[in-house]
Amino acid sequence: MHSLLPFLYLFSAWTKGAWAADPTMPFMEYLDEKHMVCLMWGFDNLKGNITFKLEVNTTGWVGFGFSPNGGMKGADMVIGGVGPDGSYFTDRHALGNVEPLVDEQQSYTLLSMNEKDGQTIMSFRRSIQSCDKEDFLITAQPIKLIYAYGLTDEIKYHRDNRGTKEVNLLEYMPRTTSTNLNFLSATMDNITVPAYRTYYYCKYMKLNLTTKHHIYMIEPVIEQIDIVHHMLLHRCPSFVMEEDDRPCYMGDMGDTCFGVVAAWAVGGGVFELPENVGIPIGGADSGTIYRLEIHYNNPRKEAGRTDSSGLRLHYTAQLRQHDAGIMTTGVSPWTSLAYNIPPKNPEFHTYGVCNTTLFSELLNPVPELQFFAVMLHTHLAGRKIRVVHYRNGTQTGFLALDEDYDFGLQQTVNLGHITTVKQGDEIAVECTYDTSDRTNVSIMGLGSTDEMCLAFLYYYPAINITACVSHPNTGMSENSTTSDQNTIAEQESLMKNLPQIQYAFDDKHNYSVNAHGTVRDMMETPVTCETSNAASGLSTSCKMKPAGIILVLLYIAIM
């Protein structure tokens, strides 16, 4: 059992926006980049009520809700505002990209609704574990929040006044705001993207900082948003010494750059690390070569497109408490696998396993690792990803999971809690694919119509292990290409039960291997449903204020 999160006051400086001054609503996120939509929330306990306050810079209607995939279909939401005849507020659900329907059972309670200084401020609450079939189940996992608003009180199509953001409401990890404006740019230089559906291009560069600094925020810089699929910045081994740019995965020395420093994929945004950790850069490794890899997905095979996308690495000389690292886990993406995913199948599973006993062959001693964030990654057929933690052969829980994975919304998210991984623990990544609309076998590979199964895990303290991945020993079997469901089930079971060849790599491209790994049984994703009417306190309104600083005053840890 995880303890409830500490209730904290946040401190930040804003020129225009919202500030928190109520211990019953200690958490706050802007849901949009322009700071037009502010959400505050708090809760009593995991089986009680959760209270929200939404502040939007409009005097029209406002909407807020939860979505399984970031879109309208299947979303649970409330819509309200202050009209000519007073306030209005309804609990609704969406069947698609049409006006949401009013729920038969109104599970949300309006606490207050008012307009002030050009803003609409709506406070409301609901049970965390609502049993209304039209309500979204709030869990201690990241949830895709959606919002929309109108300029008038006529509820109609919102046009561009909408958005989505993934937030862990129940295990939120607050961060402070830095005024440091220093950053490094790792970007392409106006490269020409050829008329290929899948194209990987790499730039090798130095990021010269003579003293050690910490990266605290990673910001994507996307020029061609419709074709940039993902970006990875790798730290290269010391024997990679030349600055250059060229296509990736050509079998040269550059393909040994495995150590992920920063990651972004389609649908992601800015990622800020927690205030006590930073990704180390500079100092002793100031001469290190870094490889920026961009995967271009060009399904229309358009010619003549140029691009200068990349990553902006915000850094500080004020070192944080811990050095953070990113470890690649899942199914090995670097080996040519006879690992077929059959067509015409709504649910096919693949597995990658990391056994941390391999670390001791590359590192001694091996410290306890604290995992705090993740970016999950498959390609177009991916529907679910679960990351499982085992100790002494027994599952302790889910390190991360997304049961409504959306290829177009791949974000790095804080887990909201810390998972300790000790030497000898295992991490398994399970990916579920839907190939119902495919007529040919899908393979594990680099193309967008191929598949991957990866979890980029953020942790501290940083060690020199860059990846811990596996693949089934498919040399001991024959892969099926059939769409017969019985044969598919047998194929999936065979792939799961074959010995897993496990690899751990370090930053010098040394590796350790175990050819006899296993995929352990996984528990079902827990789902609970209980109603509760526990009282929740009313809060003061978000306000617009001149720039100021709210000090951290309170820290309450509830066990």
Model confidence over 353-391: pLDDT tens digits? Answer: 999 999 999 999 999 999 988 999 999 999 999 999 999
**Residue 536 located in a structural domain:** no
**Residue 266 located in a structural domain:** yes
Residue 554: phi, psi to the nearest 5? Answer: -135, 140
Whether the per-residue pLDDT at 133 is higher than 60: the answer is: yes
Check which CATH number belongs to the domain holding 112 and give it. Answer: 2.60.40.1210
Q: Are residues 163 and 186 in the same domain?
A: no
Closest CA to 180 of 320, 310, 38, 40: 320
Pairwise pLDDT comparison (425 vs 417), residue with the higher score: 425
Lowest-pLDDT choice from 61-65, 90-94, 171-175, 476-480: 476-480
Q: Which helix (H) or strand (E) holds 76?
A: strand 76-83
| 94: number of Cβ within 10 Å | 21
Whether the per-residue pLDDT at 532 is higher than 50: the answer is: no
Closest CA to 53 of 78, 83, 75: 78
Which of 141, 167, 193 lies at the terminal end of a domain, its last residue? 167
pLDDT band at 180 (very low <50, low <70, confident <90, very high): low
Whether the per-residue pLDDT at 6 is higher than 50: the answer is: no
Q: Are residues 71 and 123 in the same domain?
A: yes
CA–CA dist 297, 408 (Å, integer):
12
**Residue 375 located in a structural domain:** yes
- What total of structural domains would you count in the chain? 3
Contact call for residues 461 and 278 (beta carbons, < 8 A): no
Q: Are residues 39 and 145 in the same domain?
A: yes
pLDDT band at 174 (very low <50, low <70, confident <90, very high): low
Q: Are residues 356 and 455 in the same domain?
A: yes
Q: Are residues 149 and 282 in the same domain?
A: no
Two tokens at 93?
């659900």
Report in angstroms the alpha-carbon separations of 233 from 274, 293, 454. 20, 6, 16
**Residue 19 located in a structural domain:** no
Catalytic sites, residue numbers: 200, 377
Three-class SS state of 269: coil
Q: What is the pLDDT of residues 197-235, one digit of tens each?
A: 999 999 999 998 889 999 999 999 999 999 999 999 999
Closest CA to 261 of 297, 230, 236: 236
Two tokens at 225?
């948003």
Which of 167, 192, 224 lies at the terminal end of a domain, its last residue? 167
Whether the per-residue pLDDT at 405 is higher than 60: the answer is: yes
Residue 409: per-residue pLDDT: 82
Q: Are residues 41 and 115 in the same domain?
A: yes
Residue 404: phi, psi to the nearest 5? Answer: -130, 50
pLDDT band at 145 (very low <50, low <70, confident <90, very high): very high
CA–CA dist 415, 141 (Å, integer):
7
CA–CA dist 250, 242 (Å, integer):
16
pTM of the prediction? 0.71
Could you identify the residue written with the tokens 């498919």? 474
Which of 167, 188, 210 lies at the terminal end of a domain, its last residue? 167
Q: Are residues 278 and 307 in the same domain?
A: yes
**Residue 358 located in a structural domain:** yes
Three-class SS state of 509: coil
Q: Are residues 262 and 295 in the same domain?
A: yes
Whether the per-residue pLDDT at 26 is higher than 80: the answer is: no
Q: Are residues 150 and 205 in the same domain?
A: no
Whether the per-residue pLDDT at 35 is higher than 50: the answer is: yes
Range of the domain at 330: 324-523
Q: How high is the mean pLDDT of the chain?
A: 84
**Residue 387 located in a structural domain:** yes
91-96: average pLDDT: 88
Residue 475: per-residue pLDDT: 73
pLDDT band at 491 (very low <50, low <70, confident <90, very high): confident
Two tokens at 270?
């800015």
Q: Are residues 308 and 419 in the same domain?
A: no
Could you identify the residue written with the tokens 């040919």? 440
Q: Are residues 227 and 301 in the same domain?
A: yes
- To 5 degrees, how large is the angle CA 316–CA 319–CA 324? 95
CA–CA dist 265, 409 (Å, integer):
8
Q: Are residues 334 and 315 in the same domain?
A: no
Environment class of 3 (CB within 10 Å of its CB; exposed 0-12, middle 13-18, buried 19+): exposed
| 97: number of Cβ within 10 Å | 9
Check which CATH number belongs to the domain holding 369 and give it. Answer: 2.60.120.230
Whether the per-residue pLDDT at 2 is higher than 70: the answer is: no
513-539: average pLDDT: 65
Two tokens at 448?
């967008």
